[in-house]
Amino acid sequence: MYLAKVVVTLRKSILDPQGKAVHHALGSMNMPTVQDVRIGKFIEMKIDTVTMEDAERVTAEACKKLLANPVMEDFSFSLEKIQ
């Protein structure tokens, strides 16, 4: 069994108004060193495969087909073996 941790974010080229609003709020909280904020989604999936390669293939397929929309989002993920 593997645990996939997926992060989905808006593509760099797309303006993130939520990130902008949060950045603005942090600025007004006297945290001027925060230079940029991007908001995304964090998804965990337990994947029941024997090999890491298979878990990687399944995770990538889930990301491409459903978890991220390639028109507006990028994804990345990590995998760890669990019991």
Phi-psi label, residue 9: left if phi above 0, alpha if psi -120 to 50, beta otherwise: beta
Does position 71 interact with another protein (CB under 8 A)? The reply is yes
Does position 69 interact with another protein (CB under 8 A)? The reply is yes
| Cβ neighbours around 5 below 10 Å, total | 14
Does position 27 interact with another protein (CB under 8 A)? The reply is no
CA neighbor of 37 nearest in space, from 74, 73, 10: 10
From candidates 6, 63, 67, 79, binder to another protein by CB under 8 A: 67
| Residue span binding another protein (CB under 8 A) among the ranges 11-19, 30-38, 44-52, 56-64 | 11-19
Backbone angles phi, psi at 10, to 5 degrees: -65, 145
| Closer CB to another protein, 13 or 35, in the complex | 13
